[in-house]
Amino acid sequence: MEELHRDDKTWGALVHLGGIVGQAIMSPVGNIIGALVLWLIKRNESRFIDQEGKEALNFQITLSLIAAAIFVINGISWGFWSFGRLFRGDDVFLKHDWDFRFFSTIGLMKVVWILNLVFSIIAAVSAGKGTPYRYPISFRIVK
């Protein structure tokens, strides 16, 4: 294995952290943009940075797809719930009773955020030591 330069390790770690920063600034696609921008800037300078950038980008895309699925399922669920209330003659728009579906969606999105936080930090620490990291939950889209 080739000896990594300190800058390679630093940028390898930063590209993993780019997803966290991006998600905090502009959720739900900011995580992809954060990792993508850092990877595109430095990918040609080192094979290690290129490898870590692809790994981080694939993980962030996976999390965004999971978040999109949660929102779609939530939208369909709320649609059926609202239609059912309307069909029964309930006042859908004036009666604001919070439903379990709303809180479960928030909970699932928090799980996605925590997954991003935990795994990105683990990956950044690993890359900072010069060890390649492979996320346990990731679609391999960018090769």
Q: Report pLDDT digits (tens) over 94-136.
A: 555 555 556 677 788 889 999 999 999 999 999 999 999 999 9
> What are the residue boundaries of the structural domains of the chain, listed by start?
6-128
CA 33 to CA 19: how far, in whole Å? 7
The pLDDT score that the predictor gives to residue 107 is: 82
Q: Which alpha helices (DSSP H) does the chain contain, by range?
A: 6-25, 30-42, 47-88, 100-128
pLDDT band at residue 6 using 50, 70 and 90 as cut-offs: confident
Name the more confident of 117 and 92. Answer: 117
Stated length of the chain: 143
State which H helix or E strand residue 81 sits in.
helix 47-88
Q: What is the value of pTM for the model shown?
A: 0.82
CA 41 to CA 128: how far, in whole Å? 18
The pLDDT score that the predictor gives to residue 88 is: 66
pLDDT band at residue 86 using 50, 70 and 90 as cut-offs: low
| 81: nearest Cα among 69, 64, 98 | 98
pLDDT digits (tens, 9 = 90+) for 27-85: 778 899 999 999 999 999 999 999 999 999 999 999 999 999 988 888 887 777 666 66
